[in-house]
Amino acid sequence: MDLDFTAEDRQFREDARAWLMANVTREPRPHEGRELREYDLAWQRKQYEGGWAGVSWPVEYGGLGLSLTRQLIWFEEYARAEAPDNHLCFVGLNHAGPTLIAKGSEEQKAYHLPRLLKGETVWCQGFSEPNAGSDLGSLRTKAEIDGDHLVVNGSKIWTSHGHLADFQELLVRTDPDAPKHKGISWVICDMTTPGMDLRPINIMTAPHHQHFVQVFYDDVRIPLSNVVGDLNDGWKVAMSTLGFERGTAQIKDQIRYAVLVERMIEEARARFGGNSPLSKDEIGSRLAQLRADMAAARAMTYMVVSRAQAGIQGSEASLMRAMVGEVQQRARRLALDIIGPDALENPEDDDRVFYYLRSYSITIAAGTAEVQRNIIGERVLGLPRG
């Protein structure tokens, strides 16, 4: 056990901090639309030009090729500097990019990876379907081979920012006769391909907030050369990148939320400080518990990274994910309780209500809290399947 960083790591931290201090944009981040796309890509481009994009990505594709520890340090400093969360780049940088690094062909890597790091392309996900959510393996969108193309028919749903994306990581059924996890392929889908129809889905944050699209595929022709990994091996391809950052990307979120809690404490002191000490207040007690839980979330993330460094494979990262989902929701709720009756107002220029409502997605996206708990019960604790 140690919390040591080498002299070179500490220098890297200093350099990262100095660069972020000088370069983090303070313009507020738009909530939606083309402005959001331009904002997120511009910030990614700035990081690339500053020499900070893809810290642990291979050098030959524009990354820095550094260790997990450096990646962790970069994300810590990124969050401490309160740099914007460029969520439009999330699927590309944390999902599609790592998938290509692990399983892509040389042509696929050479084309896509530099564009991702440079902030030129936005990716979206095409995994869930109306009848395949938590039970992803039951997906039915089919792709038939026709010459050197796949012909795709079906529908995908819950595609975040699909209307702003250039490419989609698409899971399709290429062998309907194989067992459910065996007949799936992972395909790069260009969002401008003819035959795709996008239906916007607004989310609960405000009546006009578009976030998702549902995509309908009607004889959409995708070159076979866009299949990543082997045909019918898409399930394994999708699983290969889960945990590519091996927890390091999570530290960004843990620190971002810890900063949020500190801001909430300052605000609560300003609002309630006059009468009795905050520590005697119910709000104060909940803030203190959150402070402790945020420290725990950070330590749990370090534990995940420690296991990854030691080459320990397992499902233990689910423990951290389950914990932080609940804690983050609790933080967003408490932010509302601090402002009291003003929580009934949802203005464009105040994020509190927006992010409170948004927090309901945390325990659903990328595996519901219930699926997490099944994984913990069965794969970590060895309890029998139901």
Active site residues: 245
Q: Whole-number minimum distance, CB 73 to another protein, in Å?
A: 9
- Give dist(CA 90, CA 45) in Å, integer: 14
Q: Whole-number minimum distance, CB 40 to another protein, in Å?
A: 25
188: left (phi over 0), alpha (psi -120 to 50) or beta: beta
Q: Binding of another protein at residue 4 (CB under 8 A)? A: yes
Q: Binding of another protein at residue 331 (CB under 8 A)? A: no
Q: Binders of another protein: how many residues, by CB under 8 A?
A: 56
The separation between CA 243 and the C-alpha centre of its own chain, rounded to angstroms, equals 11
Output 309 or 346, the one with its CB closest to another protein.
309
Query: Per-residue x/- mask for another protein, residues 345 to 384, rule CB under 8 A?
Result: -------------------------x-xxx-xxx-xxxxx
Task: Mention every residue, 6+ apart, whose C-beta is less than 8 A from residue 138.
Answer: 131, 132, 180
Element (DSSP H or E) covering residue 334: helix 317-339
User: How many other CB atoms are found less than 10 A from the CB of residue 20?
Assistant: 20
Residue that is written with structure tokens 């009468």 in the block: 275
Determine phi and psi for 217, rounding to 5 degrees: -110, 120
Q: Whole-number minimum distance, CB 171 to another protein, in Å?
A: 26
Residue that is written with structure tokens 């009848």 in the block: 131
Q: Binding of another protein at residue 16 (CB under 8 A)? A: no
- Give dist(CA 145, CA 54) in Å, integer: 35
Q: Whole-number minimum distance, CB 329 to another protein, in Å?
A: 14
Q: Whole-number minimum distance, CB 295 to another protein, in Å?
A: 4
Q: Binding of another protein at residue 11 (CB under 8 A)? A: no
User: How many other CB atoms are found less than 10 A from the CB of residue 215?
Assistant: 26
Interactions with another protein, residue window 207-236 (CB under 8 A):
none
Contacts with another protein by CB under 8 A lie at 1-5, 69, 72, 80, 255, 258-259, 262, 265, 278-280, 284-285, 287-289, 291-293, 295-300, 302-303, 305-307, 309-310, 316, 319-320, 322-323, 370, 372-374, 376-378, 380-386
